[in-house]
């Protein structure tokens, strides 16, 4: 066999769930936290995940109990993988789910008195806006830089400052106040179009870098890509699968497509190169279907 990994049965149109379950299984910290749990509570689904992961270590597994626990009634209806990823985490005990948990602040700075106001909250993913401009590739790197670029409020858009007690010029920007161990980026392929007054899917090609750096003044946090959930086809139908890098198989990539798992040849190279060359030879994956990007936090540089 090509790989020691195993697939998941599809119950109709449940590839959206299978793809994120495989990412969770291949996220060692998550898998181990779920398996380690000694006294699982009934309100969480950890015990279902543990059972599934144990089965998945030996053979093709059946996610039926998870589907039931997530209250999926119609298995023939396509759902959003991002939504179900979050649903799983919300129903998982904090010990396992915290790996994906970060904190983000929307920080306002008054340009008059320099007072900084934080509006902070938890996040599971960062959403990146796509633009459907035919012929152009979307750069995730630019998207990240855009996300963290401050917005300036002046003129008619001035904001009220409590200290100055008047409307003032101000900047507002996102700051990660707590970096998650795994950072999930969501490319907003499913978006509402005011032109068509309906939801549409944006099909543009995206350049997904293997390494990203969060542009912050006082920090230099980098993350390394290890999984991509892709969506093929259009809004209401289509198909999901996951490309995932294996930690214990020398950094090889695999495609997890329901019950099938196959070796994935990274584009641009025919055969796997030694590890040290691999890092420098390919800097991104180009894909018109990349939707959820999972990055693992690297040690402080």
Residues in the site for Zn ion, rule: CB under 5 A? 110, 112-113, 115, 161, 163-164
Beta bridge partners, 119, equal 106
- Count of Cβ atoms closer than 10 Å to residue 294 Cβ: 26
Nearer to Zn ion, 43 or 162 (CB): 162
As measured in angstroms, the least distance from the Cβ of 105 to Zn ion is 18
As measured in angstroms, the least distance from the Cβ of 151 to Zn ion is 17
Report how far Cα 1 is from the mean position of its chain's Cα atoms: 29
Q: With contact defined as beta carbons under 8 Å apart, do 119 and 72 qualify?
A: no
Nearer to Zn ion, 152 or 163 (CB): 163
Q: With contact defined as beta carbons under 8 Å apart, do 152 and 169 qualify?
A: yes
As measured in angstroms, the least distance from the Cβ of 117 to Zn ion is 9
**CA-CA distance, 40 to 34, in Å (whole number)?**
9
Nearer to Zn ion, 95 or 112 (CB): 112
Nearer to Zn ion, 164 or 235 (CB): 164
As measured in angstroms, the least distance from the Cβ of 116 to Zn ion is 10
Report how far Cα 171 is from the mean position of its chain's Cα atoms: 28
As measured in angstroms, the least distance from the Cβ of 301 to Zn ion is 35
Cβ neighbours of residue 227 under 8 Å, at least 6 residues apart?
Answer: 23, 26, 27, 242, 243, 244, 245, 292, 293, 294
Nearer to Zn ion, 98 or 167 (CB): 167
């Amino acid at each position: 066999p090509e790989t020691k990994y195993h697939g998941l049965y599809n119950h109709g149109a449940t590839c959206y769930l299978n793809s994120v379950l495989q990412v969770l299984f291949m996220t060692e910290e998550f898998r181990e936290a779920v398996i380690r749990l000694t006294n699982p509570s009934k309100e969480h689904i950890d015990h279902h995940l543990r059972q599934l992961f144990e089965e998945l270590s030996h053979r093709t597994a059946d996610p039926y109990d998870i589907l039931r626990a997530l209250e999926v009634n119609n298995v023939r209806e396509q759902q959003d993988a991002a939504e179900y990823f979050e649903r799983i985490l919300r129903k998982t005990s904090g010990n396992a789910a915290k790996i994906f948990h970060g904190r983000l602040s929307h920080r306002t700075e008054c340009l008059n008195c320099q007072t900084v106001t934080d509006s902070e909250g938890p996040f599971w993913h960062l959403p990146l806006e796509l633009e459907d401009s035919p012929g152009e590739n979307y750069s995730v790197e630019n998207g990240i830089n855009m996300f963290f670029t401050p917005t300036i409020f002046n003129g008619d858009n001035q904001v009220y400052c409590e200290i100055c007690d008047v409307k003032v010029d101000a900047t507002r920007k996102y700051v990660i106040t707590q970096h998650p161990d795994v950072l999930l980026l969501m490319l907003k392929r499913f978006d509402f179009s005011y032109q068509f007054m309906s939801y549409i899917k944006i099909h543009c090609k995206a350049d997904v870098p293997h390494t990203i750096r969060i542009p912050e003044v006082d920090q230099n946090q980098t993350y390394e890509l290890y999984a991509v959930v892709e969506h093929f086809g259009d809004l209401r139908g289509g198909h999901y699968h996951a490309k995932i890098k294996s930690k214990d198989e020398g950094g090889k990539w695999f495609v997890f497509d329901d019950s099938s798992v196959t070796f994935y040849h990274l584009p641009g190279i025919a055969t796997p190169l030694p590890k040290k060359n691999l890092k420098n030879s390919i800097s991104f994956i180009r894909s018109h279907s990349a939707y959820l990007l999972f990055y693992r936090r690297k040690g402080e540089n």
